[in-house]
């Protein structure tokens, strides 16, 4: 068993930025996403038998990094 860092795109934003109001509002601004802290992705650690197994569980991951 090996530990891996699973990096997945944030579902709540586009590259870490979200509008603080309705986008059509002229006073709206782009601010950091509250879900990912403006990073645009989430990362967590998990244990798998192999990197192939990790990709099987997370096929939409941006990256899977052995630790």
Q: What is the pTM of this model?
A: 0.75
Q: What pLDDT score was predicted for residue 50?
A: 94
**What is the per-residue DSSP string for the chain?**
-EEEEEEEE-SS-BTTEEESS-TTSTT--EEE-TTTTTSSEEEEEEEES-HHHHHHH-TT-SEEEE-
Q: What pLDDT score was predicted for residue 42?
A: 92
Q: Chunked in runs of 10, what are the mean pLDDT values of the chain (67 residues)?
A: 95 84 78 90 95 96 95
Q: What pLDDT score was predicted for residue 40?
A: 93
């Amino acid at each position: 068993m090996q530990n891996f860092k699973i990096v997945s795109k944030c579902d709540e934003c586009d590259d870490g930025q979200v509008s603080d109001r309705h986008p059509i509002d002229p006073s709206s601004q782009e601010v950091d996403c509250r879900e990912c802290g403006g990073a645009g992705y989430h990362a967590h650690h998990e244990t798998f038998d192999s990197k192939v197994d990790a990709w099987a569980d997370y096929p939409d991951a941006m990256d899977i990094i052995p630790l």
